[in-house]
Each structure stands twice: as C-alpha cells, then as structure tokens.
Amino acid sequence: MKDMVEMSSLEMEKQQIGSNISKGEVSKCVGNPTKAMAILLVCSMGSFLFSVLKDPSPDNVPWNSLYNFSLFNKDQAGQVPMDDNKRLLGGLLPQGMEKDSCLSRYQMALYRKRLQRKYPSSYLISRLRSYEATHKRCGPYTESYNRTLEYLKSGQYNSTSPTDCNYIVWISLSGLGNKMLTIASAFLYALLTNRVLLVDPGENIPDLFCEPFPEVSWLLPPDFPIIDKFDTFNLTSPDSYGNMLRHSVVSNSTVPPYVYLNLLHDLDDHDELFFCDQEQSLLHKVPWLILKSNNYFVPSLFLMQSFEEELNNLFPDEGSVFHFLGQYLFHPTNTVWGLITRFYEAYLARADEIIGIQVRIIGIVGKGPEPLKYVVDQIVGCARNENLLPEISEKKPIINPSKQHKTMKAVLITSLSAGYFETLRDMYWTHQTATGEIIEVYQPSHEENQHTENEMHNMKALAEINLLSLSDKLITSPWSTFGYVAQSLGGLRPWILVKSDNQTLTDPPCSRAASMDPCFHTPPNGNCREKNWVDKGKIVPHVQHCEDRSWGLKLVDRDNES
Ligand SMILES: *[C@@H]1O[C@H](CO)[C@@H](O)[C@H](O)[C@H]1NC(C)=O
Ligand SMILES: *[C@@H]1O[C@H](CO)[C@@H](O)[C@H](O)[C@H]1NC(C)=O
Ligand SMILES: *[C@@H]1O[C@H](CO)[C@@H](O)[C@H](O)[C@H]1NC(C)=O
C-alpha cells in the first residue's frame, strides 16, 4: 500500500514536469529554445544556487558543489520536489544513497537533456525497488547468502527444500561495451526470475562503476567458493547447462547447486536451449547460475512466452530496455566522472549542438595510424546527406565576419586513432562552412590499440561512452558495442555507418537505426525442441533484425514513432 502511495506521487511529478516543459518553461530560462542543453543546466543551476544561498555551506563552495543541493527534501505534503524527481530519472534511481562517494549518480541528469522524453514505467520502478529489497536481504555475506553458499561448498543440493534466495553470477569478460551490455542482460534476467545479480569485479569493475544498489554490494566476494573454476568454464565444460542437457544429467529430481550458462558467441544448439520456456522451468530450481556472455541477449528473452507479460509491463516501450537499465546500473566513479565533466565543461558546454561520431572499424587487419579514406568519406557523406554537419564552401573566406551570433557545432570524435579527427578538423579549419556555422572538432583520446586490462584506458573509454551519450546527434560504426551503449544511454537513435565489404564508399554511407536499443549479435538459430526453422526477426513486431547485422536481433518500439 505504501508503495502505491509513493508511486502515485511520482506519477504526479512526472506529469508536472511534462506540462511545465510543454508550457515553455524552458524558454523562460534562457530565451533560446534551441539551446536545450544550456537550458537544462541554467534552469537547474538556478535552483541549486537558490538552495545554496538558502543554506550556505560553512566552507568555500567549489563549483561542483552547486550540484550538491538538497536532493532528498520532501515538502510538507510528503511530495518529492520536481527537481529531485528529475535527478532520480523519473523514479528510476533509488533515493537517499550517499552522494559524495558517487557524484555521477544524481548529477548525470543535469548533463543529459533528453531525459524528459521517456519515463520508466511505474511497474519497472516498483520492480527495481523490490529488487533492491531482495538484494539487501540476499546480497554478499547476508544470512541467506551464507546459507545458499553452503550448497556450493558441499556440492549437494536437495531441490525439495527450496532456497529463499537464488543468484546469477556475472563473470567479467571481454571489452567495456560488451561488459555493460551483458551486465544489463544478466540484471534483466535476474529481475524476470527473482534472482540476485552478483558481479565478478574482474580487473576493473569497481574502478569504473559505483555500487548501483543501496546498502549491500553487487560485487562477488573474493572468497566465493568456485571462483577458481571461472577460467575453466567454456563451451566444453561439463558444468554447462548445454552439456548437462546433452547428457541428461539434470532433471526435475536431480538439480545441481550450480549451472554454468555458456551464452558466449560460440553457444551451441544445447546452450541455446536457455532461451526456451521448457528449459527455463528447470533452471528456475538451480540456486546458482554462473554466466559467461559477451552479447546483449535481451532481445531473445522477448521471444519467450514465459517472460512475455512481465516484459510487456516492465517496458511498454520495448526499444528502451538498455536506456533504462543502463542508466539505472552504470554510474561512473568519481574519477571517471571527473574525466567526463572536465571535458564537457571545457569543450562541449558552449556548443549549440553536439554531434558525436564514434569510429571503430571492426574486422580489418593491418589498420595503421592513418584514417581509412573510405571511412572518412562515409562520415562526411553521412553528415551531408542527413544534414548533420554543414558542407564546406569553396568561396573565398569572409575576411570580416559579422559580430552576430554564429551557430557553433561541436563534433566529438571517439576513435582509437587520431586520423579521423585530424582530417575533419583540417577540413573545417581550412574551409569555411557553406552556412557560416562554426564547427569545432574534438577527440578526447586516441589510444591506438584496445587494452582491455589497462585501468586508465578503460576509464577513458567509459568517459568517452558517456560523453558520446551527451550528443544531440550520433553517428556510430557498425557492430560496435561501444556505440550501442552510448546511443542507448543517451536515448539516441544513431545513424550507423554501413558496413563495407571491400573498403569502398557505400551508398548510402549510413542508415538511421530503427531504435536506440543494442543489437544481439549472435542470437540462437534453433527453434527450441521444434525441428522447424523460423525467422526470429519476424515473430513479433518489436523484435527485428539489426540494421548493421542482418542475422542479429534488436528491440524496436512497437509503435515506432521516435
Ligand atoms: C575449455 O576449458 C578446458 C579446461 O580449461 C580446456 O582444456 C579446453 O581446451 C577449453 N576448450 C575450449 C574450446 O576453449
Ligand atoms: C518439471 O517441473 C515443471 C514445473 O516445475 C513441470 O512443468 C515439468 O513438466 C516437469 N518436467 C518433468 C519432465 O517432469
Ligand atoms: C564493393 O562492394 C559493393 C557491394 O558489395 C559493390 O557494389 C562494389 O562494386 C564493390 N567495389 C569494388 C571496387 O569492388
């Protein structure tokens, strides 16, 4: 009942925000409706300043503590003030978590301007709150955790006395983008099956992300009993669900204490039975699921009958699954947040529009520091065709530019090499634009190679993903999980460069994604225990093949208007 009351006040807040915006509150703040980002900051800054002035801090107030305004005050009617709701992403984030240890959690909303557009469903919000309660009860070193751990230690489990907490353990694997996609997939699976998600810290998870859940950690403790076995889990492992099914060593009456889920790109015809309703009912009884995946496997969960109703309630807009789960789970640590905000304030904050360009050429060997000519042509062609950037003019430069305000567009390039950046910057430096717009071109880093283990490399990569997500418009590379994460976090439907088979310019150079949700690169081929083949992209309207990968699957909104 209490939940219901809180929910309805949140609903009211949402409506308030919506109506204020539609009534043009935005233009009241700075008088230029096109500068949406600046507006959000300026409006918000107004209210911070107000609360800072009202309640002066004894120390000198550093600039960023302006953001540290009172997040959790309730007015007399017990309503959460509107700004708080905005900061909590419309109720997505839990209230009352400690602020200073993770500044990004409640500050990110200031930088993301699109958050007004989509709100999480009230059902998703209530499921997240109840997940948090379960996590608190079942997380590491709780009584329930210790009790369930005994089955792992002894290797014995009697399924006739069910556990009060079941778990899914995510094993750290692969590059940063893949990690974020698979953690989110595992978390959704945990929500759907009432499991608790525990995350293997690997080399750097705690350096990159804050704890997402209140009070109890999501990190798998280092003394976890079978942690030494993690490296041995693979396609051929006898502990894999696929092999257990193949050899019929698992049944309703013989349930093992743990099962390894091989949901890597190499999953075989037995591993992929994970995506079948019948096998899920058996898995449901296993206390510990240990997952290895490098894929965003969410779209295939939407093809399962057993989850259909729940998913429908959680995500009425199917294409925003990662948008919400990613924003809920992934809060950059203060070190990474510093990289993000310093770059943003120094280079992007003043721009009228930010165009993100994410270049990652996958599957080409021998790429040197030089940009690939066809990729540059694709980017320029895409930006021109889709009116993302102005053309350059061959006319003589204007010697005496008028003083009036010129539109300034910032181009933010992320790439392992510097060549694309240099080419575009030179293009707009040595020529004027046909429209007179000023184009600034920036690239935060160029690390030349992907170093999956290097700490600073990963921090910069996470900062770049988040900076890209702050763009107004985004061009991404095909097959890139880095791009998928940036687009979904930012609520952006990107233009994806068309994959070229022979390193020549494609026609068209890019195509608009049907939704912001990531692509599942290697969905299961089979049709569960049925022998017939069905086209998985044709079963329901909201699961379709990907723009950049014809055999991949992705979620799109059923009423596809965005
Ligand atoms: C799987 O792991 C086992 C044990 O570590 C190893 O012997 C085997 O070569 C691995 N198989 C594959 C396909 O990687
Ligand atoms: C196993 O149990 C589930 C319910 O928990 C039931 O639906 C299924 O038919 C059972 N399977 C067998 C082979 O008994
Ligand atoms: C490259 O591939 C495209 C499509 O497959 C084809 O139309 C084009 O002619 C090819 N170009 C060259 C130079 O081979």
Instruction: Answer whether 498 contacts ligand 1 (Cβ < 6 A).
Output: no
CB burial string 44-75: b at 16+ within 10 A, e below? bbeebeeebeeeeeeeeeeeeebbbbebeeee
Atom of ligand 1 nearest to the CA of 234: 1
Separation CA 86–CA 76 (nearest Å): 19
Instruction: Answer whether 229 contacts ligand 1 (Cβ < 6 A).
Output: no
| Same-domain check for residues 388 and 316 | no
Measured in Å, residue 501 CA sits from the centre of ligand 3 at: 7
| Same-domain check for residues 265 and 370 | no
Ligand 1 atom 2, closest CA: 232
Instruction: Answer whether 8 contacts ligand 1 (Cβ < 6 A).
Output: no
Measured in Å, residue 131 CA sits from the centre of ligand 2 at: 27
For residue 113, name the pLDDT band (cuts at 50, 70, 90): low
| Same-domain check for residues 303 and 447 | no
Residue 505 falls inside a structural domain = yes
Q: What is the pLDDT of residue 6?
A: 31
Q: What is the pLDDT of residue 453?
A: 64
| Same-domain check for residues 322 and 234 | yes
Ligand 3 atom 1, closest CA: 502
| Same-domain check for residues 383 and 311 | no
Ligand 2 atom 6, closest CA: 281
CB burial string 80-89: b at 16+ within 10 A, e below? bbebbbbbbb
pLDDT digits (tens, 9 = 90+) for 348-389: 999 999 999 999 987 655 555 556 889 999 999 999 999 999
Residue 71 falls inside a structural domain = no
pLDDT digits (tens, 9 = 90+) for 394-413: 776 665 556 666 889 999 99
| Same-domain check for residues 394 and 450 | yes
User: What is the average pLDDT value for the chain, to the nearest integer?
Assistant: 83
Ligand nearest to the CA of 253: 2
* Probe target for ligand 3 pocket from 502, 503, 505, 550, with the most ligand atoms within 8 Å of CB: 502
Q: What is the pLDDT of residue 363?
A: 64
Beta bridge partners of 544: 554
pLDDT at 31 over 80: no
Ligand 1 atom 3, closest CA: 232
Instruction: Answer whether 160 contacts ligand 2 (Cβ < 6 A).
Output: no
For residue 354, the enclosing domain spans 334-513
Separation CA 287–CA 259 (nearest Å): 9
The domain boundary, picked from 284, 309, 329, lies at: 329
pLDDT digits (tens, 9 = 90+) for 251-287: 888 899 999 999 999 999 999 999 999 999 999 999 9
How many angstroms separate the most distant Cα atoms in the chain? 84
* Probe target for ligand 1 pocket from 226, 233, 236, 271, with the most ligand atoms within 8 Å of CB: 236
Separation CA 516–CA 371 (nearest Å): 27
Two tokens at 418?
């510097």
Measured in Å, residue 433 CA sits from the centre of ligand 2 at: 68
Instruction: Answer whether 236 contacts ligand 1 (Cβ < 6 A).
Output: yes
Measured in Å, residue 158 CA sits from the centre of ligand 2 at: 16
pLDDT, average across residues 47-76: 32
pLDDT at 62 over 50: no
The domain boundary, picked from 55, 74, 93, lies at: 55
Bigger pLDDT: 1 vs 152: 152
pLDDT digits (tens, 9 = 90+) for 151-194: 999 988 987 788 899 999 999 999 999 999 999 999 999 999 99
Distances (CA, A) of 469 to 45, 138, 139, 484, 486: 21, 33, 31, 10, 5
Ligand nearest to the CA of 505: 3
Q: What is the pLDDT of residue 307?
A: 97
Instruction: Answer whether 19 contacts ligand 1 (Cβ < 6 A).
Output: no
Q: What is the pLDDT of residue 161?
A: 80
Ligand 2 atom 12, closest CA: 252
Identify the residues whose C-beta falls under 6 Å from ligand 3. 501-502, 504
| Same-domain check for residues 231 and 188 | yes
Separation CA 557–CA 111 (nearest Å): 25
Q: What is the pLDDT of residue 52?
A: 28
Q: Residues 216, 165: contact at Cβ < 8 Å?
A: no
pLDDT digits (tens, 9 = 90+) for 421-430: 999 999 999 9
| Same-domain check for residues 226 and 342 | no
| Same-domain check for residues 340 and 487 | yes
Q: Residues 217, 211: contact at Cβ < 8 Å?
A: yes
Q: What is the pLDDT of residue 41?
A: 34
Ligand 2 atom 14, closest CA: 252
| Same-domain check for residues 421 and 359 | yes
- How many domains, the chain? 3
Instruction: Answer whether 66 contacts ligand 1 (Cβ < 6 A).
Output: no
Instruction: Answer whether 392 contacts ligand 1 (Cβ < 6 A).
Output: no
Two tokens at 184?
């989110």
pLDDT at 55 over 50: no
* Probe target for ligand 1 pocket from 228, 230, 234, with the most ligand atoms within 8 Å of CB: 234
| Same-domain check for residues 403 and 297 | no
pLDDT at 345 over 60: yes
Residue 106 falls inside a structural domain = no
| Same-domain check for residues 361 and 291 | no
pLDDT digits (tens, 9 = 90+) for 418-461: 899 999 999 999 998 988 899 999 999 887 777 666 788 999 99
